Structure 1
């Protein structure tokens, strides 16, 4: 679907320079002289490179609709991660580097959303929050409780996060998978 350059919004996926790009940030600029334009920060969905482009309202770009399908994480194998399509039960294997650092948060049976373009996976969305147990936490140092200081802890999946001083090893916490940060104790 063709849209004009000033209609590009964050989250839109467009075809530009022969690649698929996601709009990360958009800023409409109205200079004193000349026509207005949309300054757009783009991220390539295939290789992750970034690009800043100016789109005038007279320019048109092709907006791409991605197919989103629900998959269930089954297991990890060597450098691959195996997912199952919940509708057709077909299996899909993706490389760990395709998912990135967030692959450490995958748990057996976890539901994820895979974005597809022409039946080819181009992105994976995990749940925003997961519950994990603290494997190791540094002891509280006396006298540090007055300031809001955090201490390092290692989660059951090996990821390091900063937690408040009252969190002990063995406790279950809620972790933000996007920012990789502590949110609160799990119920």
Structure 2
């Protein structure tokens, strides 16, 4: 932990405030007509996900936490946790499943993931932007529907629903964006 002045805070930094850890989302320096400048900071509680607006004077001191992004390989799920392996040391690290939220079904064996560590504790996990998934079921194409018309719902093997073009059928593999479950293209096998 390192102390820094409030006016040195930047987006992406992690601070400790009132006993909780927050990621800085945005900071704004406001200079009123008279008096000292005020730092307006939007931040998100790492544990609860709730957002908070906080104001500091420029001379106020805050606790900055050191963060490190490290690559791991997903090994297997165990209860409420995920077991990851450090590809360099082969040591195992365990993180809670809820670190991924709604993106958890996209996690696949041997997938490379980025984990953000704060003071050695895992607090966030990023999946690859694009993953290949198999379609379990897709609605049949309605007669007369052209290829350029609307997408149809499909269910992936991992249980997530996505909208796909009419020509995509069950059993096919497609590339999906993990952030918002958007169909990108057919997988090139």
Class of the TM-score when normalised by the shorter of the 2 chains: 0.7 to 0.9
Cα distance change of structure 1 residues 52 and 143 upon mapping to structure 2, 3 Å threshold: farther
1:138-153 residue pairs with structure 2 within 5 A? 138-145=139-146, 148-153=149-154
Q: What is the count of residue pairs matched by the alignment?
A: 187
Q: Structure 1: which 5+ runs fail to align?
A: none
Give the aligned partner of residue 62 of structure 1: 63
Separation in 2 of the partners of 1:87 and 1:146?
47
Please give the alpha-carbon distance, in whole angstroms, between the structure 1 residues aligned to 2:12 and 2:150. 35
Worse-superposed segment, 100-109 or 111-120:
111-120
Is it true that 1:20 corresponds to 2:21 in the alignment?
A: yes
Instruction: Give the TM-score, by structure 1 length.
Output: 0.84
Change (3 A) 1:2 1:78: closer
Question: Structure 1's 142 and 54: CA in aligned 2 closer, same or farther, altered over 3 A?
Answer: farther
Q: CA RMSD in A?
A: 2.5
Q: TM-score by structure 2 length?
A: 0.83
* Residue 186 (structure 1) aligned with residue 184 (structure 2): no
Q: Which residue of 2 aligns with 1:117?
A: 118
**CA pair 78-36 structure 1, distance change in 2 beyond 3 A:** same
Deviations 1:109-141 (A, max 9, x none): 111122222322212121111111211111122
The question of whether the paired residues in 1 share the 8 Å contact of 2:147 and 2:165 is answered with no
Once structures 1 and 2 are overlaid, which stretch shifts more, 20-29 or 159-168? 20-29
Gaps of 5+ in 2: none
